[in-house]
Amino acid sequence: MQDTQFTDSLRQWRKRRKMSQLDLALAAEVSQRHVSWLETGRSNPSRSMVVKLSEAMDVPLRDRNTILNSAGFANLYTNRDLSEPSMEPVADILADMLAHHNPYPAFVLDRQWNIKMKNEAAGTLFEVFGDPEQVWKDVGGSGEMNMALLTVHPNGLRRFISNWHDVAGPFLKRLKKEAFDSRDQVMLDRYQQLLEHSGELDDDQSRTDLLPVLSLEINLGGPVLKLCSVISTFGTAQDITADELRIETFYPADDLTRKYFKE
């Protein structure tokens, strides 16, 4: 009989993805009986089967290692720091993406919303808000700057977001989904902290906006800049760090904003 750690992990991830045993079997191209036997412990999975099922359920690489461990296998996916020499190709790609996005702001964030890299336009925009180090202290930050905390805290960038009433709900829903999907206690604790800083949300704020794009309106005491963000990820990453990185690029939503950044 298989250790219950693997059977529990398999069942939990399948339910989290809202898949039936038949759904998972079809996605992994195996029989429903085999999935059932793996979940009940009647069959022991091979390493390749664990990987195949994880891929079918779109399990993040970090958690695929955990599932492999629960089935008695060693880690398959590495977790290297972005500064390591072996990660230089990834760092170079990110640097090129950020540079090419100038004169508009762009950031590279890790899974806990820490800012790992930013382009020149993003640095300039941060300086418009005030001394970045002082703003970070004003929000009670320590260590790496965290984009979510900087945005949500009343003493942070939120002071300049004139349509916070509109963007708060969708923004916090996104953070909540990422935190609960990760099952990372640090992210869950951070989300609770952000929720406390956000204040009470009424029904209008907590709803999902029906517009295809929700612009962020930044009031600098003169021009009101309107920006929309796009989040990109490495779709074929085989390293945990690369898999968890997100590139958030901001685009002007009107001509005034476009002219402001180009000048």
- The C-alpha atoms of residue 102 and residue 72 are separated, in whole angstroms, by 47
Q: What is the pLDDT of residue 221?
A: 83
Classified as helix, coil or strand, 119 is coil
The whole-model pTM stands at: 0.84
pLDDT of residue 238: 86
Q: What is the pLDDT of residue 212?
A: 58
133-157 pLDDT per residue, tens: 999 999 998 899 999 999 999 999 9
d(CA 118, CA 4): 44
Among positive and negative, which fits the CA dihedral 186, 12, 62, 55? Answer: negative
- Paired tokens of 252: 């002007």
Give residue 185's pLDDT. Answer: 87
Question: What pLDDT is attached to residue 89?
Answer: 93
Query: What residue ranges of the chain have pLDDT lower than 50?
Result: 1-2, 205-206, 208-210
pLDDT at 153: 94
pLDDT at 183: 78
What pLDDT was estimated at residue 213? Answer: 66
Q: How far is CA 93 from CA 100, 108, 239, in A?
A: 11, 11, 15
Which of the 8 DSSP states describes residue 45?
A: P
Q: What pLDDT was estimated at residue 1?
A: 45
